[in-house]
Structure 1
Amino acid sequence: MQGSFKIQLINMGTRAAAFTAKIRSLYDCQLRLMHNIQPLPSGTDIANTVKYFSQTLLSVLKDVPRSPLEMIRDADNDAERMGLYPNLDYKGLFNAISQLVDSAPHLQYGIQAFGQAVLQCLGCLLPFLEYDMIDNLPYLVAYCVAVFPASLHQEILNLLCYYILPFTITRRYSGMEEESEASQSVGAIIMMVFQHSNNPAHHCQLLECLMSMKQWVVKDLLCVIAYGTCGARVSAAKLLFYYWPPFDAKLFDRKGLLCKFANTCKINCDSRNSEL
């Protein structure tokens, strides 16, 4: 019995050491990309390393007796939830992935494989994050729309709407009447997606997801109209007038809305028009 326990400790130490070493390799890749240090890593090379973390995290989850995703909904369970896992550097992994996302525009090739691996890893990492990183995760995933190719935008929206947002913006904090930071970042998330995705279906998907989970999402939409870029403002205004006043996604036909988006035309304003 003592021998098997000793072997388990050795295996845990070996896994933790390998985990930390792989994180250092991610930081090294990010450093070389940002400072153009040769040889530059490819997106495929980084993706293979990131896949290691996804596989490791999934193997850890198999041994967890309770559902950590359900525990995420209540911040009071954070200490118990984190106690279910082995002592690995989850925070270091999150920070490394965040910096790599910022470095994505510097990749010369392999961005598709890199993006897919990062999105999968962020999804696997959610149950292992502490409260501050949980609050930052939704915006990080939304930011991927700005740096990943358009072919990955649907995957990003699916990750956001079906997995990340339901377990983050609805988190409960005891003794806290204000919204969580994740919920407060909804306006920035809408602005990011509306600005960098040209597909109106993505805009509708995100807004309908938010309407099902957050009250007064209209305030976030008004914030985008007031402070967003031109493209984000136009999309937000169209959706505001379409969903107002009930703001209930179940009452509307998305297909009809997309037709309205497709049939819009731009109006050019100049000094002569302003005089009329």
Structure 2
Amino acid sequence: MLIRNSLKLTSLHDYYQRLLHGSQPVPSGLDMANTLKFFSQMLLSLLKEVHESPLEMVKSQKYDAERMALYPNLDYKQLYNALTQLIDVVSSIHIGLQAFGQALLQCLACLLPFLDHDLIDNVAYLTASSISVLPMELHQDIVNYLCYYILPFTITRKTEDGTENAASQSIAAVIMMIFQYSSNPAHHCQLLECLMALKPGVVKDILCVVAYGTAPARASAAKLLFYYWPSFNPNLFDRRAVLVKFANDLAPFVCQRDSCPNAGNAEAGKVCYDHRISITFATETPPPMYLCIECANEIHRAHPNQLFYDILHPMQQVSMICENKVSH
């Protein structure tokens, strides 16, 4: 595995060099996607052999050394650097860009549990920045990977000295990226609702975007600021003109189980954080595993000791006035 891994890393570097310098033959996105899928499968195979709980360990910096010791001694940092380089030359990919983008996002999410703390801090922004170069068809995928596979394990990480981690500090930049390059308000709402559940002071990040963001990002941030944080005085301005959010605009996140009887149609309602269960039932998807109620119940019957948690659903309605009783 070590030799093959090294050869594949060399291939990624070769892809980067040829795209950077326009050397012939120019690699296609399909070729690169296949190489990235190899790494994703390799990482999932390694993760499945781990009996501890790396997804829990990744949430605290003090477990980093112990977590990294669970894996074979492969060059995960070099793979991360290769992915970063490829994002820099995406504009030179003319064939198979969507396939490459999908494989890139998948590989980043699979790689997350294998990274050291300095790289973990960068994954959220790196993923968000890909929206500036990947096609519009992948914007929903980018937001989904952020909300379901990356942000819950990065911005909540506890540092050894108790300070706010760098991933959390980068959230204003993440918001700015998504708001600037996605013109779909549903993506903005999905990202912000995810962040509201994970980071208590996210309103400060929104204010930062309003103050320093690009014009499109500022406009969206201002609208959402008044949408999710209603004025104490509901008559201060006509809030209806700010934003009308329809729940139907949000693309449902569907069940990830490979053999879901309603594949592609059943909305996920539960999440399982056990990586071995996840990889068993969703063989090409990074953990955790998001399931519809039917699949969660079926797996729970076979594995009664497993815990399944409710996932955050989109807010159906936001009050027109502040509901904080303390504020009055």
Structures share fold, TM-score greater than 0.5: yes
Unpaired runs of at least 5, structure 1: 1-14, 247-255, 263-276
Name the structure 2 match of 1:258: 245
The 1-side partners of 2:17 and 2:161 are apart by 41
Q: 2:24 aligns with which of 27, 34, 38?
A: 38
Greater per-residue helix proportion: 1
The 1-side partners of 2:178 and 2:90 are apart by 17
**Matched residue SS, 2:244:** helix
Q: Name the aligned partner's letter for residue 111 of structure 1.
A: L
1:193-238 Cα shifts (integer Å, max 9, x gaps): 0000010000000011111111211111111111111100000000
Taking structure 2 as the reference length, what is the TM-score of the superposition?
A: 0.70
1:25 matched to 2:1? The reply is no
Correspondence 1:112-261 to 2 at 5 A: 112-176=98-162, 178-245=163-230, 257-258=244-245
Shift of 1:49: 0.6
How many equivalent pairs are there? 236
The 2-side partners of 1:245 and 1:238 are apart by 11
Name the structure 2 match of 1:60: 46
Shift of 1:175: 2.2
1:98-156 Cα shifts (integer Å, max 9, x gaps): 11011111101110110011111111101100001100000011011111111111111
Shift of 1:257: 3.3
The 2-side partners of 1:163 and 1:107 are apart by 26
Unpaired runs of at least 5, structure 2: 232-242, 250-328
Taking structure 1 as the reference length, what is the TM-score of the superposition?
A: 0.83
Shift of 1:243: 1.2
| Greater C-alpha Rg | 1
Sequence identity percentage: 61
Runs of at least 4 residues off by over 3 Å: none
Name the structure 1 match of 2:61: 75
Q: Name the aligned partner's letter for residue 257 of structure 1.
A: V
1:111 matched to 2:97? The reply is yes
